[in-house]
């Protein structure tokens, strides 16, 4: 039995698209959320979720952004994880990619002992293909969280139906996770 969520308050995520991110922060978060899910009156379920959000002791209201930088290091300063390549919550790889990036950085520093520039070049050369794949995946997964138009809504509905199908669901899960989800693709050496 998995007890990881025992005695924990459940989480709630409202996700929506906007053409003016700055405008979302000119009013209270619940007003922005209600406006995004309106103008029609919410049903009973959505109203109960709005109320739960309003009554929550803590909340985070923010925009989702992806970091794309041409370099992750300058001199002896190195950015790793979300500071360097934030793949966003849509990819779900923030902690994993940060840990993999740190481990690979250590490996490259060890392999290129005394040659910091070479170690950092090798680290970026190995890490970038993986991160680019995850960033692209996040943009694709954004369609699941926040479909842009009717076509994306239909694609989302079809994908969710397929993922529940007994024969197709496991295959869809592998497709959604992509082929590059293993450490061997990062060439991380155990040290």
> What are the pLDDT digits (tens) for 19-68?
888 999 999 999 999 998 888 888 999 999 999 999 888 888 888 888 88
From residue 159, alpha-carbon distances to 16, 17, 80, 87, 175 in Å are 19, 20, 33, 22, 11
Q: What is the mean pLDDT of residues 7-26?
A: 84
Report how far residue 73's alpha carbon sits from residue 85's, in angstroms, rounded to the nearest whole number: 12
Q: What is the pLDDT of residue 47?
A: 93
Q: What is the pLDDT of residue 87?
A: 83
84 pLDDT higher than 70: yes
> What are the pLDDT digits (tens) for 86-137?
888 887 888 899 999 999 999 999 999 999 999 999 999 999 999 999 888 8
Report how far residue 111's alpha carbon sits from residue 40's, in angstroms, rounded to the nearest whole number: 61
Structure pTM?
Answer: 0.65
**Among 13-17, 56-60, 80-84, 141-145, the range of highest mean pLDDT:** 80-84
**Alpha helices (H) along 56-184:** 82-85, 94-111, 116-145, 150-164, 169-177
Residues recorded for the chain: 191
């Amino acid at each position: 039995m998995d007890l990881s969520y025992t005695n924990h308050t459940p989480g709630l995520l409202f996700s929506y698209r906007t053409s003016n991110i700055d405008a979302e922060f000119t009013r209270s978060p619940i007003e922005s959320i209600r406006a995004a899910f309106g103008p029609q009156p919410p049903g009973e379920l959505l109203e109960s979720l709005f109320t739960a959000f309003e009554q929550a002791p803590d909340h985070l209201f923010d925009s989702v952004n992806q970091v794309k930088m041409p370099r992750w290091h300058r001199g002896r300063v190195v950015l790793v994880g979300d500071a360097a390549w934030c793949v966003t919550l849509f990819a779900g790889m923030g902690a994993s990619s940060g840990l993999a990036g740190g481990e690979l950085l250590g490996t490259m520093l060890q392999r290129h002992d005394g040659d910091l520039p070479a170690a950092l070049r090798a680290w970026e050369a190995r890490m970038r293909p993986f991160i680019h794949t995850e960033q692209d995946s996040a943009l694709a997964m954004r369609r699941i969280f926040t479909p842009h138009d009717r076509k994306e809504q239909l694609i989302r509905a079809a994908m969710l139906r397929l993922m529940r199908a007994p024969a197709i669901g496991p295959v869809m899960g592998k497709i959604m996770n992509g082929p590059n989800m293993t450490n061997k693709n990062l060439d991380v050496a155990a040290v």
